[in-house]
Amino acid sequence: MLLKILWRNALRHRLRTSLTVAGMVVAILSFGLLRTVIDAWYAGVAASAANRLVTRNAISLIFPLPLSYAAQIRAVDGVRLVALGNWFGAYYQDPKNFFANFAVSADSYLAMYPELVFPEADKAAFMRDRKGAAVGAKLATRFGWKLGQTIVLTGTIFPGNWEFTLRAIYKGRDRTVDETMFILHWDYLNETMKEQSPHRADQVGFFMIEVNDSTRAAGIAQAIDARFANSRAETLTETEKAFQLGFVAMSEAIILAIRAVSFVVIAIILAVVANTMAMSVRERRREYAVLKTLGFTGTQIAGLIFGESLVITALGGALGIALTFPAAQAFKAAVGQFFPIFNVSRETILLDAAVSLTVGLLAAAAPAYTAARVRVAQALRKLG
């Protein structure tokens, strides 16, 4: 009976309620999408492993390190694997076709990233072919690439047209794995540089390092950097998470702006719902006075108002959450090259639900307080 009363009260003024629900839908949908964009920005951080370190030039990532550093890093106590890596910086057919492409020492790199799942036969074929390439499933789908196809990338950091044969397509072990990477052999890049630009050969952009014990990661990082202190190319070694956070920090102002907008949206819808509830209470002052004469307490009347507000916000919140998933897919299809991992998380849905509940309670607080304290004679005497 109580739910029936709340539902009928909420639909007393159908146009006003419909517009309020529609506003709530837009607000929750916007809030959910904005929070998902923030999550996408931090996707690389979330996917980082505690037992992986990154060593780069202490000045900047754009400055290379000598290949000879690899053997010295392997000699540090606690280091299990070392992989070579360079940002390749090429594009496919059109400069707008942006995606991550790395030249790596494939055997150690793939051993370090078990979350990249390959068919064994395809992985073996990639390892054998020096000019072979391995790509993520989403990237292959984006360009319609098939195994055995010749792919030509145009280099920017390493100029020229580079031909590769697609040998393997990987999938992520879970939803946080980036499936839009293009992986090629570092040896192929290095051999080409020896022929075309000898001064750029035997240089590494970064070293990926796997340690035996993640609790010793900080000490191992210090030991690595100590080896190259006061050298021609000093190093900075940090955890993979810290390395990823460094890239996120470059866009910190944008992220803060998105966060601010998401909360502004909620503040606006809170004002809208509060106005709706205030109008409803003003229209029903006589009804609340009659309820009091029948024995209803101020707490019970306030409960009816809170319940009505929660019905409206819950309905709008539920519709907004339901629409977040198709909206996220459409957003991902439009700008997927910039956000390889764009998933609506469980935390975002729970946050949407919490926001809906909070808006419902806060919007009804002042009208409920007013209705609970209204005097019977004063409410019945009021005209209009």
pLDDT top residue among 9 and 87 = 87
Do you know the residue count of the chain?
Answer: 384
> Which residues, other chains included, contact 53 with Cβ-Cβ below 8 Å and sequence gap of 6+?
208, 209, 210, 211, 217, 220, 221, 224, 237, 238, 239, 240
What is the rounded CA–CA span in Å between residue 266 and residue 364?
15
Minimum mean pLDDT among 9-13, 180-184, 237-241, 341-345: which range? 9-13
User: Confidence class of residue 379 from pLDDT cuts 50, 70 and 90?
Assistant: low
Residue 250's pLDDT band (cuts 50, 70, 90): low
Residue 109: CA count within 13 A, CB half-sphere: 22
146-156 tens-digit pLDDT? 999 999 999 99
Q: Which residues are CB-neighbours of 130 under 8 A, at least 6 positions away? A: 185, 187, 188, 191
Specify whether the CB–CB gap between 50 and 216 falls below 8 A. Answer: no
CA distances 256 to 35, 156, 243, 261, Å, are: 11, 32, 20, 9
pLDDT for 288: 74
237, pLDDT greater than 80 = yes
Query: Looking at 28-42, 91-105, 123-137, 291-305, which range is the least confident one?
Result: 291-305
**pLDDT, tens digit, 9 for 90 and up, residues 301-357:** 888 888 888 888 999 999 999 999 999 888 877 776 667 778 888 899 999 999 999
Cα dihedral 236→240→242→247 (10° resolution): 90
pTM of the model: 0.75
Mean pLDDT along residues 168-177: 90
Per-residue pLDDT band at 1 (split at 50, 70, 90) = low
Picking from 242, 231, 178, 235, the residue whose alpha carbon sits closest to that of residue 206 is: 235
